[in-house]
Chains A and B, each alone.
Chain A
Amino acid sequence: MDECPTDQLEVEKFSVHYGRRQVLHDMTLAPMRAGRVTALLGPNGSGKSTFMRGIAGLTRAEGSVRLAGQDLAKLGVGERARLAAYLPQSLPPAVHLQVIEAVMVARRAGEAVSAEMALRESTDVLEELGIGHLALRYMDELSGGQRQMVGLAQALVRRPAMLLLDEPLSALDLRYQFAVMDVVRRETRKRNIVTLLVVHDLNIALQRAHDVVYMRDGQLVAQGAVMAVTTPEVLGKVYGVQTRLEVCPRGLPHVLVDGIFEESA
């Protein structure tokens, strides 16, 4: 890949406080390049969601966040929202709105777009995600997996330069987990955008993400290409578990957990 070197997300000295409690401690990351999917991994409470919300501008944070060289902190709410699409951890609620309407709302909120254009673009995105047949169904008739796909369509229809997905797989069955990951991977490459996502399933992350960021207690533990940084030492440090990394006959990595370490600290 030979994308422009400025097409990347740079995070420096990134800190977030909730009241007096510091949740993220001066995190400085290597640039995250467009066209690649970066998985954010770490135990519960390690600050993954806070990190995502901070980058999206939904939580007050200190430090610098630059996308393609542009300082996001200097942008207004609307401009920042146009660059960064954030998918919250919860599923889109089961409201009495048609899928197509729900996607159009996302396209038109905070931007003057004609109904006709929004309708066309929304339909296109639904087709791209393979849920065009759901366009006229109501959100309150859909399964959780289908609603999550709509959530993804809502994020993508805004044509963001950066996609921030907070646990997009948590409510989904196996098939949808892979469907969502494949869509995310494909769109990330096609649109050449920076994609960051939080996942809990290590094996999905290893098989479907390009890069990983390991976090613990609001601090960066390791960052890099999946196979380069995922080692039993790092996983032990991050999760407190004893693991083996096996490669299946097809060459895909798998993490096997043998046991847990006694909590020392």
Chain B
Amino acid sequence: MPIKETGTEADGSSAEMARLAARLTGIQTSYVKLTRHRVGLLCLLAGLIVLSLLLDFSLGPAGLGPKALMHALLNPSSGTNAVIVWHIRLPYALMAALVGIALGISGGEMQTVLDNPLASPYTLGVSAAAAFGASLAIVLHWHIPYVPDNWMVPLDAFVFAVGSAGLLELVARARGHSTAMVVLFGIALVFTFHAFVALMQFIADEDALQDLVFWTMGSLTRADWGKISVMSLGCLLVLPFCFRAAPALTALRLGEDRAASYGVDTRRLRMMSLLRISILSALAVSFVGTIGFVGLVAPHIARRLLGEDHRFYLPGAALCGGLIMSLASIAAKNILPGVVIPVGIVTSLVGIPFFLTVVLKKGA
């Protein structure tokens, strides 16, 4: 240890050296323990998602027993039960977790990049923009040649969601990355797009109105294997980049100038991060509709559980998001017997107790 050779009162005394060495070992052990604890927590969260997926898969209005489920699962073309399992249960359950993961990690990155604990795809207008895009497809029956009808709504929603995220980015750049301005602009986007959606509702005919309202509630019933493939491909492509940026994002959390003085290119970091956020959150909302709360709250839970080292915080936000959505999907099917409530309605109901226990717990 090259320290303490400066002539302060401490050195020379071997007792002092021993004390310092002991402290060093103490810190190292505790750091290793902390890291292990965090990895353990991440594994636990992942395990809970698997459990929740299983539960989501086995519960439902059809009331299938484990034997019937297994049989249908192994024989994809064996009648009604197989249809229920392969076209309803599995896609819904998987979509719930995937959407939760995408929203959780987008919210997590957004809160860091915009340095605002209220940032999320929902609160800054990405969801509202997606809803407006969807409303154009639903009410005005927009068609693009060669695009199948059931992809028209998500496609429109996606284009508008990415567009709104792009606008946020433009404003961020034009205003010299003043984060408060970006947040205000995002809130303005929310109101603007809500007004547009209301306008579309006003001019919509009865059927379209019903479709549109249902869309804005957020529902997993639109999930199918094609959309799940796109969604998981999106996650697989984007998540590695999120994790690679984690150390730089941790530095950014300590302040823009501080990160820059550590050699982090903060402009580039921010731009790439907003790009990832827009892809993930736009994919999520375009397939299942407006889902609030998850993107806002999952990061807060992750922060409390895992701290703000983004190597743990980002995966944590993703997993918390996935878990909340998966639990919400279970609740959506089982609160009212025989009815599947739109999942967007129950996410907050499911998430709030979770949120309150973790965030309000002192000294967590």
Interface residues in B51-109 by Cβ distance below 8 A to A read none
Query: Are A97's CB and B308's CB within 8 A?
Result: yes
Instruction: Say what secondary structure dominates the interface of chain A.
Output: helix
Chain B residues contacting A158 (CB-CB under 8 Å) are 262
Query: Are A124's CB and B3's CB within 8 A?
Result: yes
Interface size class of B (residues with CB under 8 A): 20 to 34
The one of A53, A88, A138 that contacts B258, using a Cβ cutoff of 8 Å: A88
Q: Which of A26-34, A100-108, A218-226 contacts B (4 or more CB under 8 A)?
A: A100-108
B255 lies within 8 A of chain A by Cβ? yes
Interface residues in A60-107 by Cβ distance below 8 A to B read 77-82, 84-88, 90, 92-93, 95-98, 100-102, 105-106
Query: Are A95's CB and B254's CB within 8 A?
Result: yes
B248 lies within 8 A of chain A by Cβ? yes
Chain B residues contacting A106 (CB-CB under 8 Å) are 251, 254, 258, 262
Task: Tell me whether A90 and B255 are in contact in the complex, defined as CB-CB below 8 angstroms, given that A95-B308, A132-B23 are known contacts.
Answer: yes
A190 lies within 8 A of chain B by Cβ? yes
List the B residue with the shortest CB-CB distance to A186.
Answer: B6
Query: Are A132's CB and B20's CB within 8 A?
Result: yes
Instruction: Say what secondary structure dominates the interface of chain B.
Output: helix
Query: Are A95's CB and B261's CB within 8 A?
Result: no
Chain A residues contacting B31 (CB-CB under 8 Å) are 98, 100-101, 119
A111 lies within 8 A of chain B by Cβ? yes
Report the separation of the CA atoms of residues A58 and B264 in the bound assembly, to the nearest whole angstrom.
11
B345 lies within 8 A of chain A by Cβ? no
Interface residues in A32-54 by Cβ distance below 8 A to B read 53
Task: Tell me whether A85 and B261 are in contact in the complex, defined as CB-CB below 8 angstroms, given that A93-B253, A136-B30 are known contacts.
Answer: yes
Chain A residues contacting B309 (CB-CB under 8 Å) are 97, 101, 105
Report the separation of the CA atoms of residues A87 and B259 in the bound assembly, to the nearest whole angstrom.
10
A1 lies within 8 A of chain B by Cβ? no
Interface residues of A (CB under 8 A from B): 53, 56, 58, 77-82, 84-88, 90, 92-93, 95-98, 100-102, 105-106, 108-111, 119-120, 123-124, 127-128, 132-133, 135-136, 138, 151, 154-155, 158, 186, 190
A-B contact pairs, 18 of them (CB 8 A): A77-B265, A80-B263, A81-B262, A86-B257, A87-B258, A90-B257, A92-B258, A93-B255, A96-B303, A101-B307, A102-B254, A106-B262, A109-B251, A109-B262, A123-B23, A132-B27, A135-B27, A136-B27
